[in-house]
Amino acid sequence: MSTRTARTPRAPRTSRPSRRPNLMLRLALVAIVLAALAAVVISAAGSGSPGGGDSSAGASKDVPAFDTATATATGTALPAFPDKGADPAVGQKAPRVQGTDLSGATRVVPTTGRPTILLFLAHWCPHCQREVPVVQDWVQSGGLPEDVDLVGVATAMSDVRPNWPASSWLAREGWTAPTVADAGNQAAVAYGLSGFPYWVVLDADGKVVERRTGELSTEQIDAMVQAARDGAPKE
Amino acid sequence: MDDTDLAITFFTLLTLVANAASLGLVGLAVAPARPPWTTLRADVIRSGLPVAWLVAAVSMGGSLWFSEVAGFEPCRLCWIQRACMYPLVAVLGVAVLRRRRPGAAGGWAERLALAMAAVGAVVAGYHLLVERFPQLESSTCDPTNPCSLVWFERLGFVTLPYMALSGFVAIIALLLSSRPARMEALA
């Protein structure tokens, strides 16, 4: 006995795509191949002209010694800068950092007997890239008094990250503050860095007056200068 | 020749192609219903899904190349975009296979793909804004990997989130242009 049942009628095939050559898909594949060929030609032509007007990570191959130089930190490390609440490092003696500056000379910070503002910078950080010209303009307009030091610390350096190397970036910005290289991040760790840009205000005794992160206005920097002069609160 | 530079140029060119294709699809949608536009529309309806799958697959390949070969660490917003783009390769693959079945037209896979691409486009758009206006997220850089970090920039506007946004928008345009309702209207 046959168990065959009547077939359900097929759905109309009007919605099925036809089998004719798939023009758009072919065009897409051709576009990929042409883009690959064009990229090879453009990159080959551009390799003879450094820079080229575009920016990308690790663009420069000739790296100055500054950008691979490490710093050493001696003394008790500061606790990490907290997101909120009182800063436990205020009043604590800051570590001394020895490193190479932009001229290639060895520099020790802070200088004994002078209030100091340390500014930790990362070449790849957009906020540092915006803050450096603000601070440089402030310095050039006479904002930094003679009795206070402003010292940069170029840290978190990485040749795969954009705006490398840091020394070229600072030179482009006309940066004049003495700056120590911290390629190994020892200084950043010793100062409890938690974000960029990172500010540490020290009084003439080398004690922490305050720490801050982020872009600051020139008015806020003026206030830090005054705080450095006034010194850490007495216990 | 630097491999990273070559890859950035390659994907920049594909991004521009995706932008042009998206604009072309919008133009086609409002074009009059007569040849050659009707022929082009029929092509888009037939090929839209496979091409959308190709866009997702190439985007995933590029994303993996930039992170695993070039060493560009993905940030938090990058990961959300990845979570939208990578599964699209599978979802759109299913949609392509379903569309090939007799009588099958659209379905959950295409709707899911559209939703994922829409979420990815919104996040990529926000990421692009964070790149341009870093203070949108914070006035401080995360010391490890901030979302405001611009790994590269070509032609003054093509960055990684711009590439992702272009991929998502192209997929959305292709999906909307090849909807089954449009297919039946042409039948």
Q: Cβ distance A211 to A201 under 8 Å?
A: yes
Does A119 contact chain B (CB < 8 Å)?
no
- Residue identified by tokens 């305050």 is A210
Q: Cβ distance B168 to B121 under 8 Å?
A: yes
pLDDT at B54 > cutoff 80: yes
Q: How far is B122 from chain A (nearest CA, A)?
A: 22
Q: pLDDT value at position A44?
A: 84
Whether B152 sits inside 8 A of A12 (CB atoms) is no
pLDDT tens readout for residues B3-40: 889 999 999 999 999 999 999 999 998 888 888 888 88
Over range B127-136, report the average pLDDT: 94
Q: How far is B129 from chain A (nearest CA, A)?
A: 13
Q: Are strands A72-74 and A149-155 parallel, antiparallel or unpaired?
A: unpaired
Print pLDDT tens along chain A (235 aa). Answer: 444 444 444 444 444 445 555 778 888 999 999 999 999 998 888 765 444 446 666 555 678 899 999 999 999 999 999 988 999 999 999 999 999 999 999 999 998 899 999 999 999 999 999 999 999 999 999 999 999 999 999 999 999 899 999 999 999 999 999 999 999 999 999 999 999 999 999 999 999 999 999 999 999 999 999 999 998 776 6
Q: pLDDT value at position A22?
A: 75
Q: Can you give the pTM of this predicted structure?
A: 0.83
A144-to-A61, A177, A189, A203, B15 alpha-carbon distances in Å: 35, 10, 27, 15, 47
Does A33 contact chain B (CB < 8 Å)?
no
pLDDT at B156 > cutoff 90: yes
Q: pLDDT value at position A58?
A: 57
Q: How far is B38 from chain A (nearest CA, A)?
A: 14
- Which residues in chain B have their CB less than 8 angstroms from residue A42's CB? 9
Nearest to A76 by CA among A91, A61, A63: A91
Three-state DSSP class for residue A107: strand
Whether A24 sits inside 8 A of B153 (CB atoms) is no
